A and B are shown apart, each in its own frame.
Chain A
Amino acid sequence: MVVAIEPEEKAEHPIELVLARLLRLGSLVAAALLAVGIALMVLGQTVLAPKLITAGLLVLLGTPVLRVTAAAVIFVKERDWHFALFSLVVLCAVAAGIYFGKGM
């Protein structure tokens, strides 16, 4: 399947492509770790398998946070201060959620 993207359009929306690449990397690594972990579990490797699965889940968990961070960096680079600030607010709220959630 070939989807033609005009070059000027590519330059107009770089953020989508950067984020897409980041999310694809995150889901591929997570899927690979999960698949190997589950396969080992089925084969009876009960020590290593849960560790690999947990690693896969953690990679997946980190991906959205990394995605907001990457967006923030891109907005700062583009001097789009409004959206850089919005991304920062989101990051702080997520961090605070983790901090308070752990205490409960």
Chain B
Amino acid sequence: MVITFITIFAIGIAAGVVGAILGLGGGIIIVPALTLGFGMSMRTAVAASTVCIIATSTGAAVAFLRDRLTNTRVAIWLEMGTSLGALTGALVAALVNQRVLFVLFGLLLAYSAYNMFRTRKEHTRPEVVPDAISSKLRLGGSYYDKALGRRVEYQVTRTLPGLIIMYFSGAAAGLLGIGAGIFKVPAMDQVMGMPFKASSATSNFMIGVTAASGAVVYFARGDVKPLVAGPVVLGVLLGAILGARLMMRMPASKIRLFFMPILAYTAIEMIYKGVKWW
């Protein structure tokens, strides 16, 4: 039992580090590890993973907030989209064809992986001009980049398209049980013109809220097994605190380089899930 605890704990640490650096929930590591590695049911694994999303978000956010990497105003604006989307997703889950959705969302992710790959060499992006909503709500921000050794000031644009994408990303999370951060980071980075590190930290901040309502439901159903979730969540908490510190010192281009293969992998996995014959 001790060995199992330690292994699950170690998986948690790894997932927390990766999740904090990339702005993801870490489910991409935890769910396969628990189901394939320990033979646990999908329900137990997904329930544990949902609590882990909160752990990644909470653990990493402390450091990100202090360094102003998290844009709280953008986060609250976009959380309206994710939380309403997640609600819709959960409500209409029984009515829609999940296979079509898997393919659609998979293609969307593949496109954003391609887009990220195409623009990987562009270190200076064109000047972002804030749109009307962004100026009115003062969404622009600035943070001190420890890797660059200087303050980065930025503006936010395409505020409404960003909100709409967040709505669908929330719905995907509610319908398909994926997409805690994988849709959010590209939406902020590529659509709204935010710097990659601010996108990752803000995504990280937001995913905890969307996961909270799901986690409460799993708790009420008894799907959260304390002996599984306990060690993995503790690991994720510590891993996220460590990962946040690492991320702040990493150059954004390197973080993007880690993000792209995960994006591509998730895209392929989702398209495969959609087209395979059950």
Contacts and interface: CB of A to CB of B under 8 A. Distances in A.
Majority DSSP secondary structure for residues of A touching B = helix
Given A64-B211, A68-B79, A97-B86, A50 B219 contact: no
A23 B230 contact: no
B34 interface: no
A89 B84 contact: yes
A60 B83 contact: no
Contacts of A95: 213
A17 B87 CA distance: 30
Interface in A1-18: 3, 13, 15-17
Contact of B213 (A31, A63, A94): A94
B87 A26 contact: no
Majority DSSP secondary structure for residues of B touching A = helix
Interface in B135-186: 137, 174
A57 B86 CA distance: 22
B62 A71 contact: no
A31 B79 contact: no
B10 interface: no
26 contacts: A16-B65, A20-B62, A23-B58, A27-B59, A27-B237, A27-B241, A30-B55, A30-B237, A31-B234, A35-B234, A42-B2, A50-B227, A57-B230, A61-B51, A63-B54, A63-B58, A64-B57, A64-B208, A64-B209, A86-B76, A90-B83, A93-B84, A97-B90, A97-B213, A100-B87, A104-B217
Interface in B77-92: 77, 79-80, 83-84, 86-87, 90-91
Contacts of A58: 219
Given A17-B65, A63-B208, A64-B57, A41 B76 contact: no
Interface stretch (B66-74, B95-103, B191-199): B66-74
Contact of B58 (A26, A50, A82, A89): A26
A54 B95 CA distance: 34
Interface residues of B, number: 52
Nearest to B219: A61
B214 interface: yes
Interface string A68-104: 1001000000000011001101100111111011101
Interface in B199-223: 208-209, 211-217, 219-220
Contacts of A90: 76, 79-80, 83, 209
A84 B229 CA distance: 34
A31 B238 contact: yes
A42 to B, nearest CB: 6
B231 interface: yes
B21 interface: no
Contacts of A83: 73, 76-77, 137
Contacts of A93: 80, 83-84, 86-87, 213
A61 B231 contact: no
Nearest to A21: B62
A96 B79 CA distance: 15
A95 B87 CA distance: 10
